[in-house]
Amino acid sequence: MDSDDDYFEAEDESSLVEDEGRVSDDEGFLGDTMIVPDDPLGSGSKEEDVYPFVCLSAEQIVELMLEILNEVNDIVNIPHTTLRILLAHFNWDKELLLEKYYEYDGNPEQIFKDAHVISPFKLKSTCKTKGQSSRTDAECEICCSSYSRSFMTGLNCGHIFCKGCWSQYLRTKIMDEGMSQTIPCPAYKCEIIVDDEIVMCLISEKKVRMKYQHLMSNSFVECNSLLKWCPAPDCHHVIKVEYRDRQPVKCQCGRVFCFECSESWHDPVLCLHLKKWLKKCDDDSETSNWISANTKECPKCQVTIEKDGGCNHVICRSQTCKHEFCWVCLGPWDPHGASWYNCNRYNADDAKKARDVQQRSREMLQRYLFYCNRYMNHLQSLKFESKLYALVKRKMEEMQQLNMSWIEVQFLKKAVDVLCECRQTLMYTYVFAFFLNRNNQLLIFEDNQADMEKATETLSEYLERDITTASIREIKQKVQDKYRYCDSRRNVLLNHVHEGYDKDWWDYLDL
Amino acid sequence: MSTPARRRLMRDFKKIQDDPPTGVSGAPTDHNIMVWNALIFGPENTPFEDGTFKLKIEFTEEYPNKPPSVKFVSTMFHPNVYADGGICLDILQNRWSPTYDVSSILTSIQSLLDEPNPNSPANNQAAQLYTDNRREYERKVAKVVEKSWNLEC
């Protein structure tokens, strides 16, 4: 059997990390596809610890917010509106809030001050001082008109404005400036924060209320380290975890992403390196790398020159310069005379340095292009996945016509799933390797990588070509064996990298 | 046509007439209450003393929820004033409060004249001279003071 041969071959190479025998994990895939939330990549890694997470809708986020509010309020017992601002001030870290709240020896005034709210314990006295006689009219300091006091309102800081100005003010802050949790009182130099109750009370326009609520949930999610918005466009779900880690999570919309950095799930490479890599790929800096690797500057006028002939006697084309120099040592041409082959004689330190820099830069470019090509190649192949899914779907329907049951043909879809996972992992292995210095562990890694890549390409070939030609029973056996093998190789590779992270095997380059 | 912004500007005008702040003045242009001309007199005992600096204030219908745009019309040499006369002042940007009015804007700009913030320079040369060569700075300021007397109204 083809895959078994490969399997034993791999085992023979002592450098490979021990396989965990998942090849024989028969029919496990059927179960795997069912328990999606626990095992988003369907990688069959049941032995590993499950990373717990749940996917929340917009309403559930609001519920969660209320839940936290109630929970904390059972302990501190202050008005909800004030508590919400306090919690926001502490980035919704209830433990931190409680710790600080009781740290001040039963005098939490400082916390209220820091969070820009009026202490609910001082409230009555402040109200009294500004209370005045409630029958007279008062002037709104924003529009300078007089209104009856019933039309004026304000926060606990005592600054009151007319309701018209208030709603205009809030509208501007919410719609134009995108503020929610940090809108201050409109009064000059007053930093007291507007609570959600007064906003909802003063704003009647539905659009503004919606935006405000959205901004509130957003700031709740953003400042809560255990919550993350799904990065898919137009998806309004949130993933909630129990502890923060670099782990894959799967949203209801189907997007699988890294909880730590929100990029597509990128095992084995670290978030930090992936970020650097993506930046490098985006930057135009590679163009300048090419320039520095393939050209030299005229030593006199610094214009960039690309040599287009064999002769090393270079004359600068710049009309105002026309400097003659030696391409090899970058020194002036004159003293070279007949014996220019000995231009080591003119090996001035800076000429040598310039050459060293050039050499290094050229090597770096080569190295980058090596990894980049392979990375891009897998990325490109991944983009064809939808096409492949369509092809496989057609094939599956055909097979069902030929007396095969629905359950019997599912192996094809599973095979494409595995193929995509493998491609994605392979893609990121090149990013991983790009940042590493050579050592023995890297050699083992590269063996694993080569083995997995070979198997993945074979599987890809089976799925794209052979399924249309070979007999169905035969191809089913081949495909099943191969994708199980691929999956096991993928786990071996990932486990090796993870073990390396734990045991500090990887020696990072300073790039 | 009366809108909240226009009504408020009428109040601002009334206030600046009834209770004129020292050293500044301002009034709407004849045909448009949304555009004001203003004057700031250089404060005494400062390099700007005796200067009469013209400014233009343009309001939007969102006033007073949004600050107006304020620009010097007279040539100005100051670390926080851009070449086009634009002013870099926190209360005209992020620290704006809708309780400000024309009087408080103008008095704030007046105090900015002698209390520049060289850390957020709008005019690099002015900021540099202000910190490194005060004498040269004052010489340049004296020139704009002199220039401000040629009022072409």
Give the best residue of B2, B9, B97 to mutate against chain A (max A CB count within 10 A). Answer: B97
Of all residues in chain A, the percent with pLDDT exceeding 90 is: 27
Residues A189, B97: C-beta atoms closer than 8 Å: yes
Is the pLDDT reported for residue A47 higher than 70?
no
- Are the CB atoms for A467 and A399 separated by under 8 Å? no
Alpha carbon of B71: minimum distance to chain A alpha carbons (Å): 22
Per-residue confidence band for A224, with pLDDT thresholds at 50, 70 and 90: confident
Query: Higher model confidence: residue A103 or residue A180?
Result: A180
- Residues A76-120: tens digit of each pLDDT: 888 888 898 988 888 888 888 888 888 766 667 888 888 888 888
Q: Distance (Å, rounded) from C-alpha A276 to C-alpha B129?
A: 41
pTM here?
0.63
A500 in a domain, yes or no?
Answer: yes
- Where in A237-369 does DSSP place strands (E)? 238-241, 248-250, 256-258, 296-297, 304-305, 313-315, 324-326
Residues A187, B99: C-beta atoms closer than 8 Å: yes
Q: Distance (Å, rounded) from C-alpha A375 to C-alpha B34?
A: 59
Q: Which tokens hold the place of A307?
A: 């040599």
User: Would you give the distance in Å from CA A314 to the centre of its chain?
Assistant: 49
The one-character DSSP state at A87 is H
Which residues of chain B carry a pLDDT beneath 50? 153
- Residues A278-317: tens digit of each pLDDT: 888 877 656 766 776 678 777 777 777 887 766 777 888 7
Q: What's the confidence (pLDDT) of residue A23?
A: 41
User: Would you give the distance in Å from CA A238 to the centre of its chain?
Assistant: 15
ipTM rounded to 2 decimals = 0.77
Q: What's the confidence (pLDDT) of residue B122?
A: 85
A484 in a domain, yes or no?
Answer: yes
Superfamily (CATH) of domain B4-148: Ubiquitin Conjugating Enzyme (3.10.110.10)
Give the best residue of A139, A140, A141, A142 to mutate against chain B (max B CB count within 10 A). Answer: A142
A208 in a domain, yes or no?
Answer: no
A233 in a domain, yes or no?
Answer: no
**Residues of A that are catalytic:** 311
Q: Which tokens hold the place of A309?
A: 């002939």
Q: What's the confidence (pLDDT) of residue A284?
A: 60
CATH number assigned to the domain comprising residue A398: 1.20.120.1750
> Which stretches of A115-262 are DSSP H helices?
123-131, 163-171, 196-202, 206-223
Domain count, chain A: 1
A142 in a domain, yes or no?
Answer: no
Closest by Cα among A139, A214, A201 to A170:
A201
Is the pLDDT reported for residue A445 higher than 90?
yes
Q: Give residue A424's domain range.
A: 369-511
Q: What's the confidence (pLDDT) of residue A15?
A: 42
Q: What's the confidence (pLDDT) of residue A310?
A: 67
Q: Which residues of B touch A164 (CB under 8 A)?
A: 4
- Are the CB atoms for A141 and A166 separated by under 8 Å? no
Cα distances (angstroms) measured from residue A183 to each of A173, A197, A223, A346: 7, 13, 17, 70
* Cβ–Cβ contact B62 with A under 8 A: yes
- Are the CB atoms for B67 and B96 separated by under 8 Å? yes
Alpha carbon of B18: minimum distance to chain A alpha carbons (Å): 14
B108: alpha, beta or left? (left if phi > 0; alpha if psi -120 to 50)? alpha
- Residues A230-285: tens digit of each pLDDT: 999 888 899 999 888 888 999 999 899 999 999 999 989 999 999 888 888 877 65
Selecting from A143, A168, A190 the residue whose C-beta is nearest the C-beta of B7 gives: A143
Q: Which residues of A touch B101 (CB under 8 A)?
A: 144
Q: Which tokens hold the place of B58?
A: 């343009």
